[in-house]
Amino acid sequence: MKKILFSLLMLISANALQAQFQNFTQTFDSVMMHVSRADATTGILYDRVIPFAGVPRFSQWASQKDTANADRFLLAYNELYNAAFQHQVRLPFPVDSLGKLIITTGNKVDVGILHYHYNKINDTLMMQKLYFDADSIVRENSACTTSLYVELTSFIASPLRMVVDTTAIAFRFNDLLWFDNTNNPITQLLVDFGAGNGLQTVGLNTTITVNYEA
């Protein structure tokens, strides 16, 4: 598995050098053009982007819980947006447009929620499913009927400002910043704001003011 994964990465890297004006997603698609996407049923294949945000670390497969901040949330959003190969399943805004919706002044802090289904290549099956033919083209072994893809669901939540110069912060849970493509959408959250009040119930389109010690 490691050998074929390394070879794929090397091939993608080589192609990227030969086509400097192509981005990673275009190069990945070119290398994998003979591999079926039929089983990637969410229309979002996370392997099509460079995984700086580590979105799968927020999924049911994650062995340890991970945390997010504003920068990581926006990066994860952008990766899922670009990983979609079906335009109809893209997240609703390009990341630049998303940034314009976020409050950046005063004492209000928007909270972003990502609750998203997507597909990822099952690394343990790569040796069985993928191979290089005589022309060094990646092909799919039709004798192996197990799907190359797994479906993951990640949940990422974060305040969308890094610094606020006040002790009274109004956390705004705007439904424009809640993104959910699952069949089990979130209707409310339990949030501990870290001010000694414990868990609080939060619904859509609510604002909760929290007072912190100076």
Residue holding tokens 């504003």? 70
Whether 13 has a pLDDT exceeding 70, the answer reads no
How high is the pLDDT of residue 45?
Answer: 98
Which of 16, 79, 83 has its CA nearest to residue 44?
83
How high is the pLDDT of residue 170?
Answer: 96
Whether 31 has a pLDDT exceeding 60, the answer reads yes
How high is the pLDDT of residue 1?
Answer: 39
Pairing of strands 178-180, 108-121: parallel
In angstroms, the CA 190 to CA 198 distance is 9
Give percent above pLDDT 90 in the chain.
70
Q: How confident is the model at residue 12 (pLDDT cuts 50, 70, 90)?
A: low
Please tell me the pTM assigned to this model: 0.86
In angstroms, the CA 153 to CA 60 distance is 7
Which of 46, 106, 111 has its CA nearest to residue 79?
46
Whether 10 has a pLDDT exceeding 90, the answer reads no
How high is the pLDDT of residue 136?
Answer: 84
User: How does the average pLDDT of the chain come out, rounded?
Assistant: 88
Tell me the per-residue pLDDT of 43-83, one tens digit each, with 9 for 90 and over: 999 999 999 999 999 998 787 778 999 999 999 999 999 99
Residues 6+ positions from 47 with CB-CB distance below 8 Å? 28, 83, 120, 121
Query: What average pLDDT does the segment 188-212 reach?
Result: 93
Alpha helices (H) along 84-191: 95-101, 126-129
Residues paired with 45 in a beta bridge: 119
At 45, list the tokens.
């294949």
Whether 182 has a pLDDT exceeding 70, the answer reads yes
Whether 21 has a pLDDT exceeding 60, the answer reads no
Alpha helices (H) along the chain: 2-18, 24-31, 70-83, 95-101, 126-129
Tell me the per-residue pLDDT of 83-139, one tens digit each, with 9 for 90 and over: 999 889 999 999 999 999 999 999 999 999 999 999 999 988 988 999 999 888 899
Instruction: Assign residue 163 a region (left: φ > 0; alpha: ψ between -120 and 50; beta: otherwise).
Output: beta
How high is the pLDDT of residue 64?
Answer: 76
